[in-house]
Chains A and B, each alone.
Chain A
Amino acid sequence: MKLILSTSNIMGAVSSFRPITNSKSNAEFVNSLRASLEANYSIATSENVNGNGHAARLTYPSWTQMTEAGLEIPALDFSESALQEERDQYDITLKLFYLPGASIEDRGKQTREAVNLVLKELHMPSIDLLIVSFPGVYFDEEEKCPDKISTRGPIEAEPEPIESQIKTWATLETLKDEGIVKRLGIAEFGHDRLANFLDRTRIPPSVDQVNLRDCCSVPRDLLKLAKGRNIELLVHNDCSNILPRGTLRELLGSGPSGAHVLSGSAKTGEKRKSLHGEPVTNGHADKPLDGEVQPLWVVKYTAVVRNRGVVENKGYFAMAEFTNDS
Chain B
Amino acid sequence: MGLLAVGTPLDWPEAKKVASHVREWGIEQLLAIWRRAKGKERDALLWGDEIEYLVVSFDDEKRNVKLSLRQADILEALANDAELLKQGGGVPDLACGTKKSGRNAPTFHPEFGRFMLEATPGAPWGIGFKDLLDVERDMKWRRQIAKNHVFGHEFPITLTTFPLLGDKKSITPYFPPSGPKLRSQFVPDEIANPHIRFPTLAANIRARRGRKVELNVPVFHDDKTVWPFKDPTVDYDLHNWPEDDDVRKGAVKDNCIYMDAMAFGMGSCCLQITFQAKNIEEGRKMYDQLSPLGPILLALTAATPIYKGFLADTDVRWNQISGAVDDRTPEELGEAPLKNDRWRIPKSRYASNSTYISQDPRLRPEYLDPDLVVDEQLKERLIEGGMDDRLATHFAHLFIRDPIVVFAEDLKELDLDKTDHFENIQSTNWQHMRFKPPPPGNDIGWRVEIRPMEIQITDFENAAFSVFVVLITRAILSFDLNFYLPIPRTTENMETAHKRDAVINEKFYFRKNVLPKRTPRINGTASNPASGTNTPLPSRPSTPVGPVEDEYDLMTIDEIINGRPDGTFPGLVPLVESYLDGMNVDVETRCELARYLALIKGRASGRLWTAAKWIRHFVRGHDDYRMDSVVPDGIVYDLVKAVERITVHEGRDGYANEMLGSRCSLAE
The interface of chain A, by Cβ under 8 A from chain B, is 7-14, 16-21, 28, 32, 35-36, 38-40, 42-47, 49, 55-56, 58, 62-65, 74-77, 80, 85, 91, 93, 129, 207, 210, 212, 214, 216-218, 232-237, 302, 304, 307-312, 314
Contact = CB atoms under 8 A, between A and B. Distances in A.
A320 to B, nearest CB: 19
B534 A39 contact: no
B520 A35 contact: yes
Nearest to A232: B586
Given A42-B539, A44-B536, A45-B536, A310 B478 contact: yes
B538 A43 contact: yes
B583 interface: yes
Nearest to A80: B521
Q: Which of A19, A49, A91, A311 has the most CB of B within 10 A?
A: A311
Contacts of A236: 581
B23 to A, nearest CB: 35
Nearest to B471: A309
Given A39-B519, A232-B586, A11 B479 contact: yes
B567 A39 contact: no
Contacts of B42: 85
B474 interface: yes
Given A11-B479, A35-B519, A216-B665, A307 B587 contact: no
Nearest to A85: B42
A20 B569 CA distance: 9
A55 B539 contact: yes
B666 interface: yes
B537 A8 contact: no
Interface of B: 42, 44-45, 126-127, 278, 474, 477-481, 515-516, 518-526, 529-530, 534-540, 562-565, 567, 570-571, 574-575, 577-579, 581-587, 590-591, 594, 665-666
> Which one of A21, A42, A77 has the greatest number of beta carbons of chain B within 10 Å?
A42
Nearest to B571: A20
A7 B520 CA distance: 7
Contacts of B587: 210, 212, 216, 218, 233-235
Contacts of A76: 523
A12 B586 contact: no
A56 B530 CA distance: 11
A136 B448 CA distance: 47
Contacts of B535: 46
A309 B474 contact: yes
Contact of A43 (B481, B519, B529, B571): B529
9 contacts: A11-B478, A38-B539, A39-B539, A43-B537, A76-B523, A218-B587, A233-B586, A307-B127, A314-B582
A9 B583 contact: no
Given A11-B479, A308-B45, A17 B539 contact: no
A204 to B, nearest CB: 17
Nearest to A222: B587
Given A43-B538, A46-B534, A309-B45, A16 B578 contact: yes
Contacts of A302: 582-583
- Which 10 residue pairs of A and B lie closest in terms of their CB atoms, listed nearest first? A309-B127, A216-B591, A307-B44, A63-B526, A311-B478, A42-B539, A39-B519, A43-B536, A20-B563, A235-B590
Contacts of B529: 43, 58, 62
Contacts of A210: 587
Contacts of A17: 515, 570, 574-575, 578
Given A8-B521, A210-B587, A307-B44, A18 B581 contact: yes
A129 B535 CA distance: 47
A75 B537 contact: no
Given A43-B538, A63-B523, A234-B585, A18 B278 contact: no
A239 to B, nearest CB: 12
Contacts of B582: 302, 304, 311, 314
A216 B664 CA distance: 10
B580 to A, nearest CB: 8
A32 B578 CA distance: 14
A19 B536 contact: no
Nearest to A20: B563
B583 A311 contact: yes
B539 A43 contact: yes
Given A9-B520, A35-B520, A216 B594 contact: yes
A62 B481 CA distance: 32
B635 to A, nearest CB: 38
Interface of B is mostly: loop
Given A17-B578, A93-B584, 13 more contacts: A12-B480, A12-B515, A12-B516, A16-B578, A20-B564, A43-B529, A43-B536, A45-B534, A58-B530, A74-B525, A237-B577, A309-B583, A314-B582
Nearest to B665: A216
Nearest to A77: B523
A44 B539 contact: yes
Interface centre among B479, B480, B515 (most CB of A within 10 A): B479
A211 B474 CA distance: 22
Contacts of B516: 12-13
A274 to B, nearest CB: 25
Greatest chain B CB density within 10 A among A20, A214, A304 is at A20
Nearest to B482: A12
Contacts of B666: 216-218
Contact of B520 (A36, A64, A212, A310): A36
A308 B520 contact: no
A152 to B, nearest CB: 16
A45 B532 CA distance: 11
Contacts of B477: 308, 310
Contacts of B518: 12-13
A56 B536 contact: yes
Given A214-B594, A216-B594, A20 B479 contact: no
Nearest to B525: A75
Contact of A77 (B478, B521, B577): B521
A107 B516 CA distance: 37
Nearest to B539: A42
A44 B526 CA distance: 13
Given A20-B562, A38-B539, A62-B529, A11 B480 contact: yes
Contacts of A32: 520
Contacts of A235: 585-587, 590
A309 B278 CA distance: 11
B521 to A, nearest CB: 5
Contacts of B525: 62-65, 74-75
A134 B282 CA distance: 40
Contact of B540 (A36, A39, A214): A39
Nearest to A61: B525
Contacts of A8: 520-521
B537 A44 contact: yes
Nearest to A216: B591
A311 B571 CA distance: 19
A310 B575 CA distance: 14
Contact of B278 (A45, A49, A55, A308): A308
Contacts of B594: 214, 216
B519 A77 contact: no
B520 A13 contact: yes
A311 B576 CA distance: 12
Nearest to B583: A304
B526 A212 contact: no
Nearest to B574: A20
Nearest to A309: B127
Given A44-B539, A308-B44, A311-B583, A20 B522 contact: no
A235 B588 CA distance: 9
B544 to A, nearest CB: 14
Scoring B478, B538, B564, B583 by chain A CB atoms within 10 A of each residue's CB, the highest score goes to B478
Nearest to A16: B578
Contact of A12 (B479, B562, B571, B584): B479
Contacts of A310: 45, 474, 477-478
A90 to B, nearest CB: 12
A251 B584 CA distance: 30
